[in-house]
Amino acid sequence: MAESDTIDSFTAMPSPLQIGLLLFPGCMPAGLLAFADMLHATNRRTGLCLFETHFVGVHSGPVECAHSLVLQATHAIADRALDAILIPGFWAESPQHVEAALTANADLLAALARLGKRCKVWSYCVGVCLAAASGCLNGQPATVTWWLADTLLKRYPKVGWQSERNSIFNERNATASGVNGYLPIAQSLIEQHVSAEIFRDLTRLMVLPRPAQSHDAFQAISLIEQPSPLLRRMHALVERLPAEQITLQKLADELGTSERTLARKVRSEIGVAAGSYARRIKLGQAGERLTLTSAPISTISAELGFSSDSNMRRMFKELTGFTPAQYRQRFARY
């Protein structure tokens, strides 16, 4: 679509889309700020006021976000007619942390539940939990980061959880996993209301990263993101060991604990079995090599210590739904 066609198609817009950027105690606002910058840049690029953003909260006034950063909510949610509201994530390292955050934000959940059907609800990272807890995702497909999938599936069965997808868009909701989940939401919004060409211009102008394209199974398993010293030690150990040597007994012995204790702690902290978690870490190493290098799959399998190529291929497809070759074709970054 030519630039003039894009701009002319919006000259008759009656008013800009009113988008609320939700602030609440402990939220991580970096994505909100980046989202607002992208929409502002879109307005500048087109020469039109297509989007207006407003920081909103349960009440107007200062809100202490993560890392003691204080931002001002200019409006209460109930006091502003919004076309959409964007819910950011918050710092959480376990299902228990999420549960505590939901309990602490009961007033916020009630305010979100009162939003009319006219207001679209977009959420990303663990902010998706707030959208689910308020009932805004009932009857809709939604995605969530993998380590919360089992917890949310049990607690919110009315939501059509699809944790294997990075982002999901429908008429009233948008959900995206990961701390950069605001980016695919912004991309969809700009491409829908303006054009894909304008979004590509912005990515070059603002030096924006490409929206995350790695499989959701491998998100949030980097060493730095592990929620406890034990998991960090376990993660590093799994990465060092050849795949065929990784057993629960071997891990427990190396970590100086019992199999039972290790299994219990992993399950309680991240909600998955220790063996499944270790396998995901090792296959995550394979996924990185597939996307970042052109090494043959047989070489990757041998380097990571799998008993055979066929064994790695089988486990990789069971976890991701892709063969290693299909995964490389879809997600390669070189």
pLDDT band at 241 (very low <50, low <70, confident <90, very high): very high
How far apart are alpha carbons 32 and 20 in whole angstroms?
A: 10
The two tokens of residue 45 are: 């690029």
pLDDT tens, position by position, 110-148: 999 999 888 999 999 999 999 999 999 999 999 987 778
Helix (H) / strand (E) element for 239: namely helix 229-240
Residues recorded for the chain: 334
Stated pTM of the model: 0.67
Using DSSP, state whether 231 is helix, strand or coil. helix
How far apart are alpha carbons 296 and 8 in whole angstroms?
A: 50
Is 93 exposed, middle or buried (CB count within 10 Å of its CB: 0-12, 13-18, 19+)? middle
For the chain, the first-to-last Cα distance in angstroms comes to: 29
Closest CA to 284 of 333, 220, 334: 220
Whether the pLDDT of residue 49 is over 90: the answer is yes
pLDDT band at 304 (very low <50, low <70, confident <90, very high): very high
CA distances from 172 to 138, 139, 188, 236, 284 (A): 11, 11, 13, 41, 33
In the chain, the domains with their CATH numbers are 3-212 (3.40.50.880), 218-331 (1.10.10.60)
